[in-house]
Amino acid sequence: MTPGSRRIAEVYDQVIGRNPGETEFHQAVSEVFDSLHRVLAKHPEYVDASILERICEPERQIIFRVPWTDDTGTVHINRGFRVQYNSALGPYKGGLRFHPTVLLGTVKFLGFEQVFKNALTGLPIGGGKGGSDFDPKGRSEGEIMRFCQSFMTEAYRHIGDRVDVPAGDIGVGRREIGFLFGQYKRITNRYESGALTGKGITWGGSLVRTEATGYGTVYFTEHMLHTRGRSLDGATVLVSGSGNVALYAIEKVHQLGGTVVGASDSGGSVYDPDGIDVDLLREIKEVQRERISSYAEQRGSAEYIPNRQVWAVAEKTSVDVALPCATQNELDEDGAKLLTKAGVAAVAEGANMPTTPEAIRLLREADVLFGPGKAANAGGVATSALEMQQNATRDSWTFDHTEQRLEEIMESIHARCAATAEEYGTAGDYVSGANIAGFIQVADAMIAQGVI
Ligand code: NDP
Ligand code: 2IT
């Protein structure tokens, strides 16, 4: 065993010991560490500077009480989090997730991933993540607003356009960013646009930010397919989820000539052999705020499959591409088996860590192209960084210009992952390419900035 590999094993044991029970966080660290053996053999300076130990420990972790009153006058107490993970490359940057399953370990896994993802964008952003175990489902507009205001009444102390810039994630979209921004402005008495991204277009937001994660994932997929002389044109595609990332992934697949025949939410899936009507789905999810079962009720060609993940659709049709765009660990070995049996050629992660390590192994054995989230879904945070640029220069760019920047960034992330994988002897493996390229960029900046 090389000294680097020995250090990987030691630090991983420390991570487990110091962060008990945080299984998703352990999984995220393990996936990155698995890629680093050859890097540490080539660069002993990272071992000498204790980069592994430092990169796993967030710079700051903030946990706070979020009290709020519902429409009946009942008081609720939720827990708020902001994990400021790494600022070597820029201010902390990353989304807020509001979902009842959110624990500190969830935010830490997401923050850890974000550090490397943000590095891959090539833009000057560090990594962070936050959120709350608040469940927005079934809550009125007034309840959501009061919750967001209470969250920001503590969070404002810790954020700022040069400090830490939150954005959306599961359960946090433009409506919530609006309430959060309003409270930040009110408390600080500053119109500091760059303190949050994902804002509305008339008050400091960027065109294309809403679409960026889903669109970017599809661009990344197209680049992967091109390496094998294939494309999305004519492809049959499954997308899990029906939120922000899923909706715009579906839209872009259709623009590129593919057909998305399946989508889902946490209650079940729909199979629509005619192709998902994205305008109808958007109306149901964003205006009616209804479940995906309503889609099947309103669309004659669609069938609802209750309590099944979207991968079940692979029992009914052949599948060329699968895009998990809902949540972590949603594509497991069983799902991967269904997909490979249906002939899948490429899987790209629109969500963060949606594919289990066993499923990734299985897809790799079947020679399926696999785009890991930190590369494939980086278009969202990259466009957030473009929003920060526009805010800093008090400018606003056109849709076409911004989309072109997004396309260039995704092309460059794809090229960088491919070249890095090749350099380290793992050609075609985008997981190792993304992990190594992101790690080296952050590690070099940390060494240059000294032991802090
Ligand atoms: P949304 O809240 O808009 O949508 C989430 C979707 O995933 C919904 O369809 C939801 O179904 C489903 N979902 C959430 N939790 C679960 C669960 N536990 N089991 C099954 N389905 C679930 O979130 P986003 O689209 O913004 O985020 C989706 C994923 O993409 C997340 O992993 C997020 O971290 C990642 N991501 C988001 C970015 C962004 O810019 N928004 C950027 C990069 C990554 P239901 O409504 O039933 O809960
Ligand atoms: O996981 C992610 O990259 C996001 N939720 C987007 C973060 C951002 O700051 O735009």
pLDDT tens column, 76-130: 999 999 999 999 999 999 999 999 999 999 999 999 999 999 999 999 999 999 9
Token pair listed for 290: 């209804």
Total residue count of the chain as it appears in this document: 452
Strands 321-324 and 127-132: unpaired
Is the CB of residue 265 below 6 angstroms from any atom belonging to ligand 1? yes
Nearest atom, ligand 1, residue 327 CA = 32
In angstroms, what is the span from residue 245 Cα to ligand 1's centroid?
A: 7
| Per-residue pLDDT at 155 exceeds 90 | yes
Give yes or no for a contact between 294 and 271, defined as CB atoms under 8 angstroms apart: no
**Cβ within 8 Å of residue 52, ≥6 positions away:** 7, 8, 11, 33, 36, 46
Q: Whose CA is nearest to atom 5 of ligand 1?
A: 243
> Is-above-0.85 flag for pTM?
yes
pLDDT one-digit tens code per residue, 172-185 = 999 999 999 999 99
Is the CB of residue 380 below 6 angstroms from any atom belonging to ligand 1? yes
| Per-residue pLDDT at 157 exceeds 90 | yes
CB count, 10 Å around CB of 298?
A: 15
**Cβ within 8 Å of residue 66, ≥6 positions away:** 77, 78, 79, 80, 132, 134, 147, 150, 151, 154
Q: What is the pLDDT of residue 343?
A: 98
Give yes or no for a contact between 164 and 196, defined as CB atoms under 8 angstroms apart: no
Domains along the sequence of the chain with CATH? 1-57+428-452 (1.10.285.10), 60-191 (3.40.50.10860), 210-371 (3.40.50.720)
Is the CB of residue 377 below 6 angstroms from any atom belonging to ligand 1? yes
DSSP assignment of 144-157: HHHHHHHHHHHHGG
Rounded Cα distance between 34 and 372, Å, is 14
Give yes or no for a contact between 108 and 20, defined as CB atoms under 8 angstroms apart: no
Nearest atom, ligand 1, residue 326 CA = 7
Q: What is the pLDDT of residue 316?
A: 98
Q: Whose CA is nearest to atom 3 of ligand 2?
A: 381
Average pLDDT, the chain: 98
Is the CB of residue 281 below 6 angstroms from any atom belonging to ligand 2? no
**Cβ within 8 Å of residue 402, ≥6 positions away:** 206, 207, 208, 383, 386
Give yes or no for a contact between 303 and 268, defined as CB atoms under 8 angstroms apart: no
* DSSP state letter for 13: H
Rounded Cα distance between 281 and 241, Å, is 11
In angstroms, what is the span from residue 42 Cα to ligand 1's centroid?
A: 38
In angstroms, what is the span from residue 239 Cα to ligand 1's centroid?
A: 12
Token pair listed for 291: 């479940």
pLDDT one-digit tens code per residue, 380-436 = 999 999 999 999 999 999 999 999 999 999 999 999 999 999 999 999 999 999 999
Single-letter amino acid code for the residue at 419: A
In angstroms, what is the span from residue 110 Cα to ligand 2's centroid?
A: 9
State which of 106, 118, 175, 266 you would mutate to test the pocket of ligand 1, scoring each by most atoms of that ligand within 8 A of its C-beta: 266
Q: Whose CA is nearest to atom 4 of ligand 2?
A: 95
Q: What is the pLDDT of residue 269?
A: 98
Average pLDDT over residues 251-275: 98
Token pair listed for 337: 């088996």
Share of the chain above pLDDT 90, in %: 99
Q: Whose CA is nearest to atom 32 of ligand 1?
A: 351
Average pLDDT over residues 302-320: 98
The alpha carbon torsion through 248, 253, 254, 259 (nearest 10 deg) reads -120
Is the CB of residue 159 below 6 angstroms from any atom belonging to ligand 2? no
Residue 96's nearest CA partner among 86, 109, 85, 110 is 110
Is the CB of residue 105 below 6 angstroms from any atom belonging to ligand 1? no
Q: What is the pLDDT of residue 119?
A: 99
Nearest atom, ligand 2, residue 377 CA = 3
Is the CB of residue 421 below 6 angstroms from any atom belonging to ligand 2? no
Nearest atom, ligand 1, residue 354 CA = 32
Q: What is the pLDDT of residue 255?
A: 98
Token pair listed for 57: 């420990």
Is the CB of residue 384 below 6 angstroms from any atom belonging to ligand 2? yes
> Residue 1 — very low, low, confident or very high, per pLDDT cuts 50/70/90?
confident
Is the CB of residue 170 below 6 angstroms from any atom belonging to ligand 1? yes
Burial of 202 (0-12, 13-18, 19+ CB in 10 A): exposed
Average pLDDT over residues 63-87: 98
Cα 259 vs. chain centroid, distance in angstroms? 23
| Per-residue pLDDT at 360 exceeds 90 | yes
Burial of 177 (0-12, 13-18, 19+ CB in 10 A): buried
Contacts 24+ apart (CB under 8 A), 394-399: 396/201, 396/206, 396/207, 397/206, 397/207, 398/207, 399/207, 399/208
Active site residues: 129
Residue 2's nearest CA partner among 29, 36, 31 is 36
Token pair listed for 293: 């079962």
Largest CA distance in the chain: 63
Share of the chain above pLDDT 70, in %: 100
